[in-house]
């Protein structure tokens, strides 16, 4: 009997990243957000799915968007916060009970950076 894993894919804002001295491209995790009403809320992070070339290019783009204030209500040390401009396509298995992505994987930046395409949680 085969068990098939079903994955979902949605778009989320990249609001920060955790740098790494050992990971290829210098990114350990991306911090993601979605709209809840008119506010951005933290929905989790993703640390897999990007190759060295993608991570290096992404890091250069993110470094141009650095900001001193977190765009979401999250206190986390070691995060480089960025303006919520870039929208990533993320594949994930499910949502946790507290509204975070489970088993998330980065699939790339959306070619068209359209805020209306960003995921909006129902709760």
Name the DSSP class of 118. Answer: B
Domain that holds residue 47: 8-117
CATH of the domain at 72: 2.40.50.140
Percent of the chain at pLDDT exceeding 90? 61
List all residues 6 or more positions away from 4 whose beta carbon is below 8 Å from its beta carbon.
none
Backbone φ and ψ of 84, nearest 5°? -75, 75
pTM: 0.86
Task: Check: CB of residue 62 under 8 Å from CB of residue 14.
Answer: yes
Q: Which pairs from 66-72 meet CB under 8 Å and 24+ separation? A: 70/15, 70/16, 71/13, 71/15, 71/16, 71/33, 71/40, 72/15, 72/31, 72/33, 72/40, 72/41, 72/42
Asked, for residue 14, whether it belongs to a domain, the answer is: yes
Asked, for residue 28, whether it belongs to a domain, the answer is: yes
The pLDDT value recorded for residue 15 is: 97
Low-confidence residues of the chain, pLDDT below 50?
Answer: 1
Q: How many domains does the chain have?
A: 1
List all residues 6 or more positions away from 35 whose beta carbon is below 8 Å from its beta carbon.
41, 118, 119, 120
The pLDDT value recorded for residue 6 is: 74
Asked, for residue 73, whether it belongs to a domain, the answer is: yes
């Amino acid at each position: 009997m085969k068990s098939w894993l079903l994955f979902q894919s949605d778009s989320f804002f990249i609001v920060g990243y955790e740098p790494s001295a050992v990971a290829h491209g210098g990114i350990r995790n991306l911090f993601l957000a979605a709209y809840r009403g008119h506010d951005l809320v933290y929905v989790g992070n993703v640390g897999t799915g990007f190759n060295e070339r993608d991570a290096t290019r992404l890091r250069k783009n993110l470094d141009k968007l650095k900001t001193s204030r977190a765009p979401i209500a999250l206190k986390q040390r070691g995060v480089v916060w960025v303006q919520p401009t870039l929208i990533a396509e993320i594949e994930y298995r499910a949502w946790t009970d507290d509204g975070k992505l489970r088993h998330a994987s980065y699939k790339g930046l959306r070619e068209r950076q359209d805020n209306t395409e960003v995921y909006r949680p129902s709760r």
